[in-house]
A = this chain, B = another copy of it.
Amino acid sequence: MSAIKKVVLAYSGGLDTSVILKWLQETYGCEVVTFTADIGQGEELEPARAKAQAAGVRQIYIDDLREEFVRDFVFPMFRANAIYEGEYLLGTSIARPLIAKRLIEIANEVGADAVSHGATGKGNDQVRFELGAYALKPGVRVIAPWREWDLLSREKLLDYAEQHGIAVDRYGRKSPYSMDANLLHISYEGQVLEDPWQEAEEDMWRWTVSPEKAPDVPRYLELGFQRGDIVAIDGQALSPAQVLATLNRIGGEHGIGRLDLVENRYVGMKSRGCYETPGGTIMLKAHRAIESITLDREVAHLKDELMPRYASLIYNGYWWSPERRMLQGMIDASQQYVNGVVRLKLYKGNVIVAGRKSEDTLFDMNIATFEDDAGAYNQADADGFIKLNALRMRIAALKGR
């Protein structure tokens, strides 16, 4: 295989990717281009620039991708009511395809023949990065240092950093957990969480207060939907990233969106993770509520049946696959009439639907009423409906089954 000349590295400026940056320069003797994205992780990006410069990087990309992230990735996913394994809102999974896309765009711009990332060989993220990279640039080389090097413990990493003069100050606030954050969520893995019987410690959580510490007064909220996406909060039009940031703030204040689960990784093992997804938790509940009055029954059921597969595609890293795009086209088409307003009550961890209305509602008070409906619905129709639906079972029973 030919030598690598230039590699684009997904670079956070933290310890791991700083070591990788140096290691790539040393091991491959190639030029490294760094790419640092703001996807709402809540960290300063300029320190990453300074560090990259200090490491001799000449081409440094720092992009604010927050709007694109929510508009083109988070929102489309929520149109599907996607949940992985009944619980997980896919906060980490959904950010990776955007990073992969931007890595490849930059590789094309700078004429790089390789990309690199800091995901480990045990996790899902390597798969998500690399499936995206290969799908978008089939000839690209991918360097995954965690699968190549022997710096497999924290000590070795710190040793390497020290030997190569790499400053170590990973997070402003020190955490023992392996964390990932973006506008949709923050996640925690490792340490005591590696025992599924151990409850997460209260001081682990960063984005939300506990339900216990949330306000004693509920907060009502009105979310305006257009084609399945939230476009306004309490009547005020907001951009996608503004919507999510606002819901994160309010949800976090009310103790909403904590999750503690054991999930099945694509690479084959079970792992324990804790997640905070305040805005996403609110969005999912509200989206189901607006769909409940605007979506046809069979369309809704078909969406529900396909949802687990759609969620697995995203979880497993197939965002850029033709099958995900095909499903997305169908999901997006289903949202044509998913317009209206949902009223929610937030209270100490609870997201409670307090009302929903829409000019595109399919709810028909005249037909649904318990009172006399003046002939809108002929109750006698139910007789034939039941009889024919029962016919095959009656025949079977008559035959002695």
Chain A residues with CB under 8 Å of chain B are 81, 85-87, 120-122, 126-127, 130-131, 134-139, 144, 146-147, 152-154, 178, 189-191, 194-199, 211-212, 216, 218, 258, 260-264, 267-272, 288-289, 292-293, 296-302, 304-305, 308-309, 312, 318, 320-323, 326-327, 329-330, 333-334, 337, 343, 345, 347-350, 352-357, 360-365, 367-372, 377-399, 401
| 8 residue pairs A–B, Cβ–Cβ below 8 Å | A85-B288, A135-B394, A262-B356, A268-B389, A305-B305, A326-B333, A347-B349, A381-B383
Contact A130 B390 (CB under 8 A): yes
Nearest CB of chain B from residue A194's CB, rounded to whole Å: 5
Contact B296 A322 (CB under 8 A): yes
Residues of B within 8 A of A392 (CB): 264, 268-269, 296-298, 362
Contact A147 B379 (CB under 8 A): yes
Residues of B within 8 A of A397 (CB): 134-138
Nearest CB of chain B from residue A288's CB, rounded to whole Å: 5
Residue picked from A136, A263, A297, A397, most chain B C-beta under 10 Å: A297
**Chain B, Cβ-Cβ closest to A195:** B365
Contact A391 B333 (CB under 8 A): no
Contact B302 A269 (CB under 8 A): no
Residues of B within 8 A of A218 (CB): 212
Contact B322 A153 (CB under 8 A): no
Contact B387 A381 (CB under 8 A): yes
Complex alpha-carbon distance, A401 and B309, angstroms? 23
Residues of B within 8 A of A391 (CB): 267-269, 367, 377
Contact A320 B384 (CB under 8 A): no
Nearest CB of chain B from residue A160's CB, rounded to whole Å: 15
Residues of B within 8 A of A329 (CB): 329-330, 333
Residues of B within 8 A of A305 (CB): 305, 308-309
Nearest CB of chain B from residue A152's CB, rounded to whole Å: 6
Contact A323 B296 (CB under 8 A): yes
Nearest CB of chain B from residue A176's CB, rounded to whole Å: 10
Asked whether A327 and B302 contact (CB < 8 A) given A296-B322, A296-B396, A348-B350, the answer is yes
Further 18 A-B residue pairs, CB within 8 A, beyond A122-B382, A134-B393, A268-B389: A121-B380, A130-B386, A134-B390, A135-B393, A147-B382, A154-B371, A196-B356, A197-B355, A262-B292, A262-B356, A267-B388, A298-B318, A299-B323, A299-B326, A322-B393, A381-B383, A384-B384, A385-B388
